[in-house]
């Protein structure tokens, strides 16, 4: 590029101001590093280009873990929530997941102002066109020729990197929401030697509220008892301000889509990128589930000061006129006015198996990836990775040891381990089923699992830490109380037990033993539990959960201890696995690519068998004896 000029020397450069970039930049700056964050359009900082919500199954866990570590997404979500619901209440506590509808414009304003007011952090509207190795780190070059010398770089480009939008037969270079794409950076990253590939995602249409007939739709209200995302948010400050609604597709919808499948770039072969398996377009659902009579859609408001509504579950890349036709076959949408069409978008990303669990790119000292650049999908997955990348970039510059989270500690650890160890063939989405320790990794105890680390790192404030210590003391005191409190076998108690379809008692019984019963909870025992202290609702929820699932939790903790033992068996950085006698050819290939840090991680690599792990353990033992 001609006409370059030196602009500034910084510690950390963050490319992209979406959910990953925001967490990375704020964490880096708060940890004392001079940080710059670059965005193609400053009015789209923290944009929600797909669904106007945060959280959901497993994703709510991620947001609470981000908060426990000192990240910002949870607080921002609470400040801009317009409806809050806890999903899966009818199931066990391991899968309870918070989801909130967000005012997307006010969320963007909140995040932009946060970046503007964070010490050590500069926000720039600029397209980064090149990242090049410099004398002491990297040169980050903008389209206008400005050169920033950075000790560390975090790539958090979302779907902007080489972005290309598809709507039927029409395709054009674009980022999400009609924004400019990052058109030149891919070439620079390829030149740098990064192993890039092509993924695809999509988003449904936005439609005008006045064109919807709500009278024939099922209303979906928010929860009466609101649980915030952030542990520091007062629940009384989060309000349900709007309802959502539900409708369904029908045979006519299916017919319109089937007749026009040949016009979908998904099926014409025009789209090269691999799409998300767990969030398919509507035409993909029709093809993959031909026997399903109907598909559910949620009609969600985009904010308080807009008439746009979002059609959750109706992603499509069909032509505009086909989209309008099939939307109008749906009950309540017969007179629909589409304001923004659904579209598919392709973008470039890295193979995450070329990342360390710190999210540093292997062989590129000080270069990190986060979010959709790493092959994941979703705001929450992006924010979680951004936080870890920002922490590690800052700690590297400060000469401190990196932070990695284990699978047994968190969903964030599971997410990153899955990406770096197992890789992904399509955009990765977090789900509770991905964790083998989900009864221990509940969203309600995220602070107990991660806040001590967040405090040690320096992102959790003294005020937040003191509130956490108080919660722990309150919980412990309540556990001791319920273990010491006994009730006589009165008629009142037995009537309660019978009403809950559980066995009455004929001797005195401990309150803790009653709470262990599946159908008995604190609420049922309110009339007889006269000495119950006034505590936050969440304290009672935690105590109740730990009592009911005590045996299962102990079993999972034993599994965690065994996993930690294997994680403790380190693998040297310089092993040439082709020289390790007894490994399968597939194991040699996978191990040389992933370069696992320990035996535990090696065992989670797809294609590595228990026999291969035995070979590695024997090899390490022989090496230990040989080296004395």
Q: What does pLDDT average to in each consecutive run of 10 residues of the chain (628 residues)?
A: 88 98 98 98 96 96 98 98 94 92 98 98 98 94 97 98 96 95 96 95 95 97 95 96 97 94 82 72 88 94 97 94 96 97 95 96 97 96 98 98 95 96 92 91 96 98 97 96 96 95 94 95 94 92 93 88 84 90 89 90 87 88 80
Alpha helices in 458-536 (DSSP H): 462-484, 491-499, 511-516
Q: Considering Cα of 317, then 244, then 303, then 52, what sign does the dihedral take?
A: negative
The C-alpha angle 549, 551, 555, rounded to 5 degrees, equals 115
What kind of fold does domain 568-626 have according to CATH?
DNA polymerase; domain 1 (1.10.150)
Is-same-fold flag (5-201+346-455; 206-343)? no
Q: How much is the pLDDT for 284?
A: 87
Q: How much is the pLDDT for 627?
A: 77
**Which DSSP state fits 168?**
T
Do the Cβ atoms of 163 and 173 come closer than 8 Å? yes
- Of 432, 292, 420, 308, the closest CA to residue 368 belongs to 420
Do the Cβ atoms of 258 and 491 come closer than 8 Å? no
Q: How much is the pLDDT for 565?
A: 83
Q: How much is the pLDDT for 628?
A: 65
**Which stretches does DSSP call E strand in 66-208?**
81-87, 97-102, 121-125, 128-134, 137-142, 146-155, 164-167, 170-173, 196-203, 206-208
CA–CA separation, 37 and 296 (whole Å): 39
Angle, nearest 10°, between helix axes 537-548 and 550-567? Answer: 80
CA–CA separation, 457 and 478 (whole Å): 30
Match 């579209």 to its residue by tokens: 343
What kind of fold does domain 462-555 have according to CATH?
Arc Repressor Mutant, subunit A (1.10.10)
Do the Cβ atoms of 8 and 121 come closer than 8 Å? no
Is the domain 206-343 a CATH 3.90.1300.10 member?
no
**Which stretches does DSSP call E strand in 465-613?**
486-487, 509-510
Phi, psi (5° rounding) for residue 139? -100, 125
The C-alpha angle 507, 513, 515, rounded to 5 degrees, equals 125
- Non-local (6+) Cβ contacts of 16 within 8 A are 37, 38, 39, 155, 156, 157, 158, 160, 371, 373
Do the Cβ atoms of 227 and 86 come closer than 8 Å? yes
The string of DSSP letters for 385-436 reads: HHHHHHHHHHHHHTTPPP----TTT-HHHHHHHIIIII--SS-B---GGG-T
CA–CA separation, 608 and 582 (whole Å): 12
Q: How much is the pLDDT for 625?
A: 83
Is the domain 5-201+346-455 a CATH 3.50.50.60 member?
yes
Phi, psi (5° rounding) for residue 34? -70, 115
Report pTM.
0.93
Phi, psi (5° rounding) for residue 401? -70, 150
Each domain of the chain, given as residue ranges in start order, spans 5-201+346-455, 206-343, 462-555, 568-626
The tokens describing 448, both together, are 């107990």
Do the Cβ atoms of 529 and 484 come closer than 8 Å? no
Q: How much is the pLDDT for 384?
A: 98
Phi, psi (5° rounding) for residue 247? -140, -175
Match 């006698």 to its residue by tokens: 581
């Amino acid at each position: 590029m001609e006409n370059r000029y030196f602009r500034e020397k910084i510690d950390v450069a963050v490319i992209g101001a979406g959910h990953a970039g925001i967490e990375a930049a704020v964490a880096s700056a708060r940890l004392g590093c001079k940080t710059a964050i670059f965005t193609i359009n400053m009015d789209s900082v923290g944009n929600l280009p797909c669904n106007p919500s945060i959280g959901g199954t497993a994703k709510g866990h991620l947001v609470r873990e981000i908060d426990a570590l000192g990240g910002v997404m949870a607080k921002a979500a609470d400040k801009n929530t317009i409806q809050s619901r806890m999903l899966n209440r009818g199931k066990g506590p391991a899968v309870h997941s918070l989801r909130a509808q967000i005012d997307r414009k006010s969320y963007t304003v909140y995040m932009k102002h946060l970046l503007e007011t964070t010490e050590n952090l500069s926000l720039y509207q600029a397209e980064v066109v090149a990242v090049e190795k410099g004398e002491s780190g990297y040169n980050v070059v903008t389209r206008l020729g400005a050169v920033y010398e950075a000790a560390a770089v975090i790539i958090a480009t979302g779907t902007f990197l080489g972005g290309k939008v598809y709507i039927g037969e029409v395709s054009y270079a674009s980022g999400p929401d009609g924004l400019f794409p990052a058109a030149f950076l891919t070439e620079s990253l390829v030149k740098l030697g990064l192993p890039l590939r092509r993924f695809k995602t999509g988003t449904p249409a936005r439609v005008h509220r006045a064109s919807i007939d709500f009278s024939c739709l099922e209303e979906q209200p928010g929860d009466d008892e609101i649980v915030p995302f952030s542990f520091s948010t007062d629940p009384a400050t989060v309000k349900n301000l709007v309802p959502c609604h539900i409708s369904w597709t029908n045979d006519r919808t299916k017919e319109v889509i089937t007749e026009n499948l040949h016009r979908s770039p998904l099926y014409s072969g025009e789209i090269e990128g691999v799409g998300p398996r767990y969030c398919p377009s509507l035409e993909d659902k029709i093809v993959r589930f031909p026997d399903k009579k109907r598909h559910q859609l949620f009609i969600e408001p985009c904010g308080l000061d807009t008439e746009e509504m979002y059609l959750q579950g109706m992603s499509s890349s069909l032509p505009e006129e086909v989209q309008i036709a099939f939307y109008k076959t749906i009950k309540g949408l017969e007179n629909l006015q589409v304001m923004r069409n659904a579209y598919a978008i392709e973008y470039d990303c890295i193979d995450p198996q070329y990342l360390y669990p710190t999210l540093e790119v292997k062989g590129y000292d000080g270069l990190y990836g986060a979010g959709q650049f790493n092959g994941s999908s979703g705001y929450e997955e992006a924010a979680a990775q951004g936080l870890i990348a920002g922490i590690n970039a800052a700690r590297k510059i400060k000469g401190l040891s990196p932070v990695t989270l284990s699978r047994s500690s968190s969903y964030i650890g599971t997410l990153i381990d899955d990406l770096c160890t197992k890789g992904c063939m399509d955009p990765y989405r977090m789900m509770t089923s991905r964790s083998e320790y989900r009864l221990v990794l509940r969203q309600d105890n995220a602070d107990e699992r991660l806040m001590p680390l967040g405090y040690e790192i320096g992102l959790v404030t003294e005020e937040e830490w003191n509130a956490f210590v108080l919660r722990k003391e309150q919980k412990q005191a309540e556990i001791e109380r319920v273990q010491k409190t006994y009730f006589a076998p009165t008629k009142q108690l037995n009537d309660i037990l019978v009403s809950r379809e559980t066995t009455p008692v004929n001797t005195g019984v401990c309150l803790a033993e009653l709470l262990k019963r599946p159908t008995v909870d604190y609420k049922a025992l309110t009339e007889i539990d006269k000495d119950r202290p006034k505590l936050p609702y969440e304290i009672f929820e935690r105590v109740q959960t730990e009592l009911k699932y005590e045996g299962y939790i102990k079993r999972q903790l034993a599994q965690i201890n065994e996993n930690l033992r294997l994680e403790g068996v380190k693998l040297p950085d310089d092993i040439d696995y082709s020289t390790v006698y007894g490994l399968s050819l597939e194991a040699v290939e996978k191990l040389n690519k992933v370069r696992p840090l320990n035996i535990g991680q090696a065992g989670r690599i797809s294609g590595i068998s228990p026999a291969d792990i035995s070979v590695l353990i024997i090899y390490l033992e022989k090496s230990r004896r040989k080296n004395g």
